[in-house]
Amino acid sequence: MTVALPSRYEDLTPEFRAQLRPNRSLIDAVKSAYGRMQRSGGVRFLPVFGLSGAGKTSAARELGTHLPDVQVIALPSDVVEGAQSLDSVLPDSNAKLLVAVVDQFEEGVARREEIPSRFVETLSRLDRAHPTTPVLFLWLTTSQEFQRELVAATSRNSRLLVSPDFTLEALAKAEWPDIIEETFAFHNESRELADYQVLRPTLEAVAKTAATLGAAIEEIGDHFSEERLQDLSEYQVVMLWPVTDGVRLGNVRNFTNPRAGYRLDWNAFYRALNNADQRQLPLGEYNKTRLYFDVRLVPMQVADLHSICRDLTDPLAPPAPSYLDGFRNTHFYWVVNDSFPDVYRPLKDHGETERARTARAWYPTVNTKPNALHRRLASTFTACGLPATFETGVSTQHARTQADVLVARASGERKQVIVEVKAFSSQNTTPSQIALQIRSTLKKHAELAGYLQRR
């Protein structure tokens, strides 16, 4: 899969541009200029200095997103050079303010020294013509020297100048990690940077040292891992978490990406950790484990679990055929069978139906007897055509663990599914407990893969 992490406005998809965060320093300057134009009419000019990658283009081009009364246009080079009249490109607009942007046009242009005076003279003529719609011209530049040349060109038309030394203030560095994550996810089908072994501490470290947001984004690309560890293992790990109501269902689902077959959401897991755990846990190794075993966390309605576990006097006996058909329609079965449908159907709470009430009353009688649940799940999968065993040891040269249920697939790269059954009381299906169990599962399998040494 080709990954994208654009660092320039022009490379962003149009749908994402409207989600860019507002730059307060530029918005305040625009509002101030508009106030002056309301009092005395005409046009105004603001040379904007900012380092390359500071977000000048993004802030300027998306002013209309954050100020609905503003329409933004980009001035073509022919107008800036004087080959085409300014009047011909300014649209008839119903906006209260028209913002015309010149984006670093001076770079690499012949006879650059003539551009400031020629352009400001054009603005002066437009100002004297009293345009119907107020117009603010922004010239974006990475050169403070050229900004000074633009300012000097307004010496005989000082009323045009909004500010002689305006510098675009970059977004706060504390926001950069979130912005980088949002940009990556949007351009890569909601995948996480953690899928490429780029974790939050790396984002924060890069944000502290990079000069601009654009530079930080480019540096993050250098941290991508070329290893595709998730393709190297024959095992997949699936955590099954029975839930009794909509609140518990939401708690579990919030740690996953349901549309992607309930893949474990690394960022959700990371946010659930306390500050000490975020600093001290071997998160790099845990994340590698998540990728290596393609870890999933799947909620299952207790009512659906009850259907296949009505009589546990003989846990190895498979359920009746009608209950097997119901089990085959659960999200849990789809994930284990590697048959999750392309069209996602949300898992719904059964509410206060008689079936749900009966199952909720039954659940506390079995969540303390995991052995019986493991046996019944193994017999159910076997009856559905997926050979399974219960409480089976899985060994590598590094460590050994026990699968609550080990399911064999008929096809696919991952032939074996290690199922961990998280059958806790309803009161323990809380975000903190879920995060603790995820951590336990990742640690156990990190040792199995050799990423951590067993103590």
Q: What is the pLDDT of residues 355-406, one digit of tens each?
A: 889 999 999 999 888 999 999 999 999 999 999 999 999 988 889 999 999 9
What is the domain count for the chain? 3
DSSP state of 100: E
Q: Are 95 and 133 in contact (CB under 8 A)?
A: yes
Nearest CA to 104 out of 151, 49, 153 is that of 49
387-407 burial: b if 16+ Cβ within 10 Å, else e: ebbbebeeeeeebebebbbbb
Average predicted confidence (pLDDT) for the chain: 90
Residue 28 lies in a domain: yes
Tokens of 409: 């697939």
Q: How many whole angstroms separate alpha carbon 230 and alpha carbon 220?
A: 21
**Are residue 427 and residue 325 in the same domain, yes or no?**
yes
Q: Are 452 and 281 in contact (CB under 8 A)?
A: no
**Are residue 289 and residue 213 in the same domain, yes or no?**
no
Q: Which amino acid is at 298?
A: V
Residue showing tokens 């979130």: 178
Residue 455 lies in a domain: no
**Are residue 235 and residue 214 in the same domain, yes or no?**
no
Q: How distant, in Å, are the alpha carbons of 340, 412, 423 from that of 236?
A: 15, 11, 20
Q: Is 88 exposed, middle or buried (0-12, 13-18, 19+ CB in 10 A)?
A: exposed
Q: Is 427 exposed, middle or buried (0-12, 13-18, 19+ CB in 10 A)?
A: exposed
Helix (H) or strand (E) holding 301: strand 296-301
**Are residue 73 and residue 142 in the same domain, yes or no?**
yes
Residue 50 lies in a domain: yes
SS3 percent helix, strand, coil of the chain, rounded to 5, is 45, 15, 40
DSSP state of 302: H
Least reliable range by pLDDT among 155-164, 191-200, 206-215: 191-200
Tokens of 186: 């949007």
**Are residue 251 and residue 389 in the same domain, yes or no?**
yes
- Structure confidence at residue 295 as a pLDDT band (50, 70, 90): very high
**Are residue 136 and residue 60 in the same domain, yes or no?**
yes
DSSP state of 199: -
- Structure confidence at residue 229 as a pLDDT band (50, 70, 90): very low
**Are residue 268 and residue 404 in the same domain, yes or no?**
yes
Stated pTM of the model: 0.70
Tokens of 304: 């659906």
DSSP state of 310: S
Residue 14 lies in a domain: no
Q: Which amino acid is at 451?
A: Y
**Are residue 203 and residue 82 in the same domain, yes or no?**
no
Q: Are 416 and 422 in contact (CB under 8 A)?
A: no
Q: What is the pLDDT of residue 225?
A: 61
Q: Which residue has the higher pLDDT, 423 or 349?
A: 423
Q: What is the pLDDT of residue 109?
A: 58
**Are residue 133 and residue 50 in the same domain, yes or no?**
yes
Helices vs strands, H then E, count in the chain: 20, 11
Residue 136 lies in a domain: yes
Residue 25, CB half-sphere, CA atoms under 13 Å: how many? Answer: 16
**Are residue 252 and residue 334 in the same domain, yes or no?**
yes
**Are residue 296 and residue 417 in the same domain, yes or no?**
yes
Chain-centroid distance of CA 33 in Å reads 36
pLDDT tens-place string over residues 187-206: 988 888 888 888 999 999 99
Residue 267 lies in a domain: yes
Q: How distant, in Å, are the alpha carbons of 322, 345, 452 from that of 285?
A: 43, 33, 7
Q: How many whole angstroms separate alpha carbon 379 and alpha carbon 316?
A: 6
CATH number for position 144: 3.40.50.300
pLDDT tens-place string over residues 398-437: 899 999 999 998 776 778 999 999 999 989 999 999 999 9
Q: Read off the pLDDT of each residue in 266-273 and give the average, rounded to a whole number.
A: 95
Residue 393 lies in a domain: yes
Q: Which domain holds residue 210?
A: 173-221
Residue showing tokens 């990190």: 446
Checking if the pLDDT of 43 tops 70, the result is yes
Q: How many whole angstroms separate alpha carbon 360 and alpha carbon 111?
A: 80
Q: What is the pLDDT of residue 85?
A: 85
**Are residue 93 and residue 241 in the same domain, yes or no?**
no
Identify the bridge partners of residue 242 per DSSP, sorted by sequence position.
300
Q: How many whole angstroms separate alpha carbon 100 and alpha carbon 388?
A: 67
- What is the bridge-based pairing of β-strands 416-421 and 235-243? parallel
Identify the bridge partners of residue 299 per DSSP, sorted by sequence position.
241
Residue 342 lies in a domain: yes
Q: Are 284 and 349 in contact (CB under 8 A)?
A: no
Nearest CA to 101 out of 168, 187, 20 is that of 168
Q: What is the pLDDT of residue 228?
A: 47
